[in-house]
Amino acid sequence: MASTRKVAVVTGSNKGIGFAIVKGLCEKYNGDVYLTSRDIKRGTAAVEALKQLGFPMLGSLMFHQLDITDQASVEAFRNHIKSTHGGIDVLINNAAIAFKTEAPEPFAVQAKETIRVNYFGTLMVCNALFPLLRQNAKVVNVSSSAGHLLRIPSADLRSKLSSVSLDVSGLNQLVEQFVQAADAGKNQEEGWGSSAYAVSKVAVSALTVIQQRAFDAESPSRNIAVNSVHPGYVDTDMSSHKGPLTTEEGAQAPLFLALEANIKGKYVWFNSAVVEWDKALEVN
């Protein structure tokens, strides 16, 4: 029989901001917390490292393998959660990649892989786990300052990405257009700019708005909240340890959205301020 305890899931959480989010949940969340990662050894080591810290945990900390780009892995995790717990109360989509500036891969390769992981991987997890979201569940999609709509140079593309009639299928087509443009060497000419990471995170931010709109229209009684967040410029492997914020500071806004906030469909900055995703940035 499935447990009725609350459950929180953090993808890509064996290190960096994801690890700090799990740590914060262990300290503050009265429920079971899942640390997930592609690599089993790294994931189990991360769980043990947290347990060795010795802080009192309100719930239980567990590990499960999860590769957000692997359909079988995602389905195995979904089936485990469904049979063991019956549902999810907090889902934090943190897993992502970023190619370094000096990466040798051609831009077309970087674009395809970045979109495959950061956008389509996140979408795959959502498609699998959204049916398991319980009443009043919170979903946090970790975006970036690069995920602000104005990072897309083309006004026409910005209009399409922020259209109230845009659905997931339409967004999928747009990001595929970017991958095709990158493959043809026309990504700047067609208005996408020169950052595959930015396009992937703009897509995640746009997906957040679409997901909230769908929940509000299809099942308002479930009271599901979906928000995206820029955690700040954090000292992690992804930032080549150039960020001024600690991972604990980077975890603060995601934790705020998961545990405290009463907002839906918003784009939130690392200082927990709501930022207009499709307008000029005005952040203190």
Q: Which residue has the tokens 């395809």?
A: 112
Q: Which residues of 70-105 are buried (b: 16+ CB within 10 A; e: fewer)?
A: eeebbebbbeebbeebebbbbbbbbbbbbbeeeeee
Tens of pLDDT, residue by residue over 64-78, are 999 999 999 999 999
Supply the pLDDT for residue 54: 79
Question: How far is 132 from 229, CA to CA, in rounded Å?
Answer: 22
pTM given for the model: 0.94
Give me the active site residues, please: 197
Supply the pLDDT for residue 162: 97
Supply the pLDDT for residue 100: 85
Residues of the chain falling short of pLDDT 70: 1-3, 56, 235-244, 281-284
Question: How far is 239 from 126, CA to CA, in rounded Å?
Answer: 26
